[in-house]
Structure 1
């Protein structure tokens, strides 16, 4: 019995040794208490989210502007992370970390705080970008979008550098190594930099913007959807997307139909040769009167307007109609063009004339009565 009692005593001594120094030299009880502290702050984080941040969000929704709503939403997550960092800090304080563990714990808490701060800054860029959008009067909207993207990457870089510095990793040698690596990459990625510079040229010169209808001969025709760092996404009229390298768009001749001041209508209207001079004059005068009195058409001297007989064609007398509509929207332009076609047909038919179409006339000569028949020599 004494041997059994001594064995149980030895076993209990081992259990107590494990309990007192089983987790990196700290007792299991202290580790459990520290874990509970972290969990308590994690639960308190949820309460803080529902009560405090919820109240702030309800207050911001009652205001007229939306910036405060976006800012409150942006800082909600980082504030909750700060509560977790606070719980980790109190847990380490309770454990009383010593030596290397104290330094590791301190670095972890600092890293969590730095991550929360830069996370909040990153989230706040989007709502604060409204202030940058005022620059659209000076630079293009796409350039502002590039600037916002650059600021976001800058915040990410500063946050990563700060956290690395906390852990004693020097950023300078890394940047120097990346510089040498960048030179090697640049030699093999010249097309990437050419396209990047091409994109900057497109934005600076304001060749086109998102939503514009462009034509690049032999490349693409469609609507610009996105101007990226390397390529531009153009949606063709059959709804197929085309990704065109920026360098090609910056070097090629680009026709921007959206930038048209007005939209042109140019017709050649063929009338029959049997039309009289008075009919031709009436047709021309009435078409010109319609163009000058109808609202959709631009009047001189803002844009040219011509209704003139232009040529004697093989089968018709050609009337040239040259005018511009005030709208450049394709659907509206087609509607005005259709109404003009109705009016032209009405005028031509009202004048007792008809439209010409390709034809040939055959004249048969008739011999007078009593004239001898033509002699046809035998073969």
Structure 2
């Protein structure tokens, strides 16, 4: 019996030893207290989100400027993450590590602070840039997006370098190695850099923007959806996407139909040759009067407008109708053109004339002999 009691005493001493030296020389009780401290800050994060951020939301809604709205959205997630960093900091401070673990805990806390700071800066780049109206007037939306992407990339790289420096990793040798690697890559990626430069020239020259209808002869025709670093995403009218390298768009002639001030209608209206002089004059004058009275058409001197007897064709007298619509939208332009076609038909029919049909006249000087006439000539 005494042996059993001694064994239990030894087992109890073993439990106490495990409890006291549970992890890295810290008792399990201290670890539980550290976890409890971390849990307190986790709960405080929820309280902060529920009350403090809601107060901030109400305050921001009362202001007229949008800049504070953007900044609030930028710092919301980093502030919530900061409570996680605070909980980790106080938990490690309570455990009071020594030696290598102390340095590890300090570097980990620094890393969490760096992440929170650069996270807020990263989130603030786009809303702040969008809030600056001067940038919108000086730069196109596409260039602004490129600058935002570049700034975000730079922030991530700086944050990564700062974290590496915190852990004692020298960044300079890495940068030097990347420089040599970049030279090797540049030699094999000349097309990539050509497309990158082509994209920059497109944005600087403002050849086209997102939503524009463009045409590059032999390359693509459609609506621009995205201008990327390497290629431009164009949606054809059959809804098929085309990814065109920027080099093709910068080196070739690009027709930007969306930049049209007006949209042209050019017709030859053919009437019959039996149309009289008075009917021709009436048709011409009525068509011109309609074009000048309708609000859908641009008027001189903004755009030319002609209705003239143009030529005597093979089977018709041709009347030239040359004008421009105010709208450049394809669907609206079709509606205006359809209304003009109906009106011209009414004018021609109202004048008692008709539209000419393509025809040819054949003149025969002599007719071939009939079979009986051929037989009579043979007898003679």
Moved more, 26-35 or 296-305: 296-305
Deviation (angstroms), 1:24? 1.0
TM-score, normalization by structure 1: 0.93
Q: Partner of 1:358: helix, strand, or coil?
A: coil
2:228 matched to which residue of 1? 228
2:14 matched to which residue of 1? 14
2:112 matched to which residue of 1? 112
Could you give the per-residue CA deviations for residues 29-78 of structure 1, whole angstroms, max 9, x where no partner exists?
Answer: 11111111111111111111111112212332343444323322221211
Contact 1:133–1:141, Cα closer than 8 Å, also in 2: no
Contact 1:133–1:144, Cα closer than 8 Å, also in 2: no
* Unaligned residue ranges in structure 1 (runs of 5+): 366-373
Deviation (angstroms), 1:364? 9.2
Matches within 5 A, 1:1-379: 1-132=1-132, 134-361=134-361, 378-379=377-378
Compute the RMSD of aligned alpha carbons.
Answer: 1.9
Q: Partner of 1:26: helix, strand, or coil?
A: coil
Deviation (angstroms), 1:151? 1.1
Q: Partner of 2:172: helix, strand, or coil?
A: helix
1:369 matched to which residue of 2? none
Q: How many residues align?
A: 371
Deviation (angstroms), 1:279? 1.2
Q: Partner of 1:173: helix, strand, or coil?
A: helix
Q: Partner of 1:52: helix, strand, or coil?
A: helix
Moved more, 38-47 or 353-362: 353-362
Could you give the per-residue CA deviations for residues 261-317 of structure 1, whole angstroms, max 9, x where no partner exists?
Answer: 111100011110011112111211221222222222222222222212222111111
* Unaligned residue ranges in structure 2 (runs of 5+): 366-371
Could you give the per-residue CA deviations for residues 195-235 of structure 1, whole angstroms, max 9, x where no partner exists?
Answer: 11111011011110001001111221111111011111111
Distance across 2 between alignment mates of 1:302 and 1:70: 43
Distance across 2 between alignment mates of 1:49 and 1:27: 34
Distance across 2 between alignment mates of 1:3 and 1:155: 68
TM-score, normalization by structure 2: 0.93
Q: Partner of 2:214: helix, strand, or coil?
A: strand
